[in-house]
Amino acid sequence: MNTTSNLPYSISRLPAFNDNYLWLIDNGSSAMTIDPGDAQVVKSALAQRQLRLDYILTTHHHGDHTGGVSELESEFGAHVIGPDSKHIPQVTQPVHDGQLINLMGLTFRVITVPGHTLDHIAYFAPAPNPFGQPALFCGDTLFAGGCGRVFEGSYSQMRQSLDKLKTLPADTLIHCAHEYTQANLNFAKEVEPDNQKLIKRIETVNQQRAHNIPTVPSLLSDELATNPFLRYDKSQVIASASKRLNKKTLASDDVFATIREWKDNF
């Protein structure tokens, strides 16, 4: 468990499965968990910190994000907040785009981000807040150096969802749900081989992973500078997509779809 603390509030990153991160936010007594795919991992953290679980937040219905919801809800009586989705019947408080929710003295704005799944949402805690800077919990929509696969939505939906996240403050900490950064950035270099900020970030991430240091949360400013899925409108990304398709003129959705399909087969 890795914890970032701005007393009395803490954000803890809970590794699970092969490469998932579950998230736990607490104020020293109460806690909420985001995308608890594994109940035992969360229960161990709660016991270690002597915390009461009051809220469970979900971003989308995939099992590695919801697998522990029923057990945690049953054991702790926690409120389950999430999208209004038939795939997550445990949700007791469905939320919608733009809604503000106040939990444990924290305010989150709900952002709908369809693409990876049609029911996907993200939770944004604007500044000022007890964390000291804006924080986003975005499940499998935006990753460090990448984005989620498009399983249920369209490439256009995914691009528009990422566009929503691009407009958040540059100092927003991106709390995504997987440790995919190294592979994501290796692909990004194929798309933008001359991006010097990307080359530097790859060196940093390679050093982190060599010492088993997590690479998330990441800063939105770093994503804007190095993540090809946020940079579909940049000249080198457009040129790489055009070369791959052997077409000179591409719309934004075509550029995004091309690099997403390219990454799927990378």
Tell me the catalytic residues: 60, 62, 64-65, 116, 140, 178
Query: For residue 174, what are the contacts with CB-CB under 8 A and spacing of at least 6?
Result: 136, 138, 142, 144, 216, 217, 218, 219, 220, 223
| Residue 242 DSSP SS3 | helix
Residue 235: count other Cβ atoms within 10 Å of its Cβ: 9
Cα dihedral 158, 163, 166, 168 in deg (nearest 10): -110
* CA separation for the pair 7, 100 (Å, rounded): 23
* CA separation for the pair 104, 125 (Å, rounded): 12
Q: Where are the alpha helices (DSSP H) in the chain?
A: 39-49, 63-66, 69-76, 155-166, 181-191, 196-210, 220-226, 235-245, 252-264
Query: What's the maximum distance between 2 C-alpha atoms anywhere in the chain?
Result: 60
* CA separation for the pair 153, 41 (Å, rounded): 30
Query: For residue 242, what are the contacts with CB-CB under 8 A and spacing of at least 6?
Result: 248, 249, 250
Phi, psi of 134 (to 5 degrees): -60, 150
